[in-house]
Amino acid sequence: MNSVKENLHGIIDSIDDEALLESIYEFLETRKEQQQGKIWESLTPLQKQNILEAEQDIHDHPEEHVSHDEMRKRNKKWLEK
């Protein structure tokens, strides 16, 4: 059975779009450098404030928000394509 690493190499080898390859590289490089649980520390004060405000809004007005699972159920026909 092929490993994830071998499959990933195969996918990357099949991509001719240089911009896409650069995006993948940047994503992987960023993830490699981040330690698990350290994402919060990497956010700017404004990003942290926005997240905290969003969490408070969800807490204060749960009827106005839809869970991720509910959105997946509602949009199942588009997600399966």
Tokens (6 digits) for 37: 């649980």
| 58 contact partners, CB below 8 Å, separation of at least 6 | 65
**Single-letter residue type at 15:** I
Tens-of-pLDDT digits for all 81 residues of the chain?
579 889 899 999 999 999 999 999 988 888 776 666 678 888 899 999 999 999 999 999 999 999 889 998 989 888 886
Token readout for 80 is 């399966």
Distance of CA 17 to the CA centre of its chain: 21
Looking at residue 51, what is its pLDDT? Answer: 95
